[in-house]
A and B are shown apart, each in its own frame.
Chain A
C-alpha cells in the first residue's frame, strides 16, 4: 500500500491532474451513453402516446388494470390513501388526473429528480453564502456532478411527458418536498447537508427499484433500471464521506420509496 509523500502542494497538483484525466474519460462515457437512453425514452414516449390515444381494448385494459392494482396494493402497504388506489392526494386544482398509469410514475420520477436538483443547488447556494463553513473541493465537485446527473434524469423523464402530450414537471410536487426543504434549510454544516442528500438518494434508489416492478412499459422499466444504480452510487459515496458503511444493505429495498400517491401534481 502506497503512502502519501511529504510536500502536500505538489502532490495534490499531480493527484488532481491524474484524477482529472480519469474523470475526463468518464465524462466521455457519459456522453456516449446518454443518446442510447434518449432513444429508449423516445420509444417509451411513443408507446405511452399510443396508450393514451388508443381506445381501451381487452389487452390495454388488462395492462392498465394490472398496473393500477399493483400500485394500489403497494401504496396501501406504504401508507397510501384509504382507497388503496392510485388517486393523488393533496394535489393542486389542475393536477388531479393529469397523470395516470405509467405516466404517473414518470411524473413522480421527474418530480423526485427536480427535488434532488433543488436540494443540491440549494446546498451550493448555502455553501457560497458561507452558511456551511468550509466546503472541501471534493464535496463541491460531488454536488456539481450529482446535480447535473439528476438534471439529466429529470430532463429525460420530462421528455417522455412532453411527447405524451402531458405538462412537464418543473418543480417538485411531492408530499415530502416541504419537509426535505426544511431539513436542508436547517442544515448548518457539510455533514448535515450530506445527510439530507443521502436520505434523498436512498429514497430515489428505492423509488426506481419500486418502479421496475410497477411500470408496465418495457422502455420505462429499462429507464428506471438504468437510473437506479446511479442513485445508489451517489448514496454510497455520500455514506463514505459521512463515515458510514457505503454498502449497508445486501438488497436495495422499497420501504422508503416515494410512492405514486405522494405526487401532488
Chain B
C-alpha cells in the first residue's frame, strides 16, 4: 500500500520534529558535558575523602527488584559506567543496522511499502544513530573507547530472525524485540549510574525507545487485524476496533527483565 498524501504529510511532520530534535540534541549534548564534568568531580571527591554514598543508599534499599543494580549505583564505578555506555551504543548500532537492512526490503523501503512505515523506519534509524553518538561521546570523554560494533548476544537474535522474514509483520516483530531490549536496558541503567546527568540521559532515551515500542505495537495490531490501510496519520479512528486503543501501552510500569547486562556490549 502506498499513500502519497500520507507520506507527504508524514515528511512535513518529520521536518517539524527535526526542529524539536535539534533542540533536544543540543540539550542532550549540554547534558553530556555536564555529566562528564560531574563524573570526574565525583571520582576526585571519592578518591580524596573516601566517602561513598553506598552506605546510605545501597544499605537502605535492597529490594529484590533492585538487588542486581544497587551495587553499581552505589559504587559509582566509572569503569563500569563506560561499559554501560558502550553496551548502550552497541544496542543502538544494532538497531541502526537492522532498520537499514529492513529498508532494503521491498515491503519496508521499496515500492510496495506503506509510506508511513517506510518513513517511520527511516526516522527511527536516524534517532538510534543519534543515541549511539551520544552514548559513545560520553564513553569517550570518560576515557573509554567508543563502541562501533554490536553486542554479539543480540546480533545473533537478528541473524536468526532474518531468514524467516517474509513480510512487514516479521520486521515489526523483530524491531519490537530490539526496541524493548533497549528501552528496558536504559530504564535499568538509570539506576546503575552515579550522576544525575547520566541518569537523565538514559531516562530521556528510554522514553523515546518506549515510544518506538508503542508505535510498533499499534502497527503490529493493525497488521494482525487486517487494517493495514489504517497505518496512516491520522488513522480513521472510527474504523478502529475498541481494543486498538490500548495495545500501545501494555503495562503501567515498564519492565526490566529483558534488559541487557553492562558487559553485554562492552568493548573487550
Q: Which one of A26, A232, A255 lies within 8 Å of B207 (CB-CB)?
A: A232
Asked if B70 lies at the interface with its beta carbon under 8 angstroms from chain A, I say yes
> A1-B114, A251-B27 are contacts. A218–B57 as well, Cβ < 8 Å?
yes
Q: Do residues B251 and A33 form an inter-chain contact, with CB atoms below 8 A?
A: yes
> A33-B251, A245-B233, A251-B25 are contacts. A240–B218 as well, Cβ < 8 Å?
yes
Q: Do residues A243 and B249 form an inter-chain contact, with CB atoms below 8 A?
A: no
* B31 shortest CB reach to chain A, Å: 8
Q: Do residues B224 and A22 form an inter-chain contact, with CB atoms below 8 A?
A: yes
Q: Interface stretch among B10-18, B94-102, B140-148?
A: B10-18
> A4-B227, A237-B249 are contacts. A253–B27 as well, Cβ < 8 Å?
yes
Q: Do residues B246 and A141 form an inter-chain contact, with CB atoms below 8 A?
A: yes
Contacts of A253 in B (CB 8 A): 23-24, 27, 204
Asked if B47 lies at the interface with its beta carbon under 8 angstroms from chain A, I say no
Q: Which one of B25, B65, B202 lies within 8 Å of A36 (CB-CB)?
A: B65
Asked if A40 lies at the interface with its beta carbon under 8 angstroms from chain B, I say yes
Q: Do residues A249 and B24 form an inter-chain contact, with CB atoms below 8 A?
A: yes
Asked if A242 lies at the interface with its beta carbon under 8 angstroms from chain B, I say yes
Q: Do residues B191 and A43 form an inter-chain contact, with CB atoms below 8 A?
A: no
Contacts of B168 in A (CB 8 A): 1
A-B contact pairs, 8 of them (CB 8 A): A33-B253, A37-B253, A142-B246, A225-B202, A226-B256, A229-B187, A245-B16, A249-B23
Measured CB to CB, the residues of A under 8 A from B are: 1-5, 11-12, 14-16, 18-20, 22-23, 26-27, 29-30, 33-34, 36-37, 39-40, 42-44, 46-47, 50, 59-60, 63, 70, 134, 136-146, 148-149, 152-153, 190, 205, 208-210, 212-214, 216-219, 221-237, 240-255
Measured CB to CB, the residues of B under 8 A from A are: 1, 9-10, 13-14, 16-17, 20-21, 23-25, 27-28, 51, 53, 55-58, 60-66, 69-70, 73, 107, 112-114, 123-124, 127, 130-131, 134, 167-168, 183, 187, 190-191, 196-197, 199-215, 218, 221, 223-229, 233-235, 237-238, 240-256
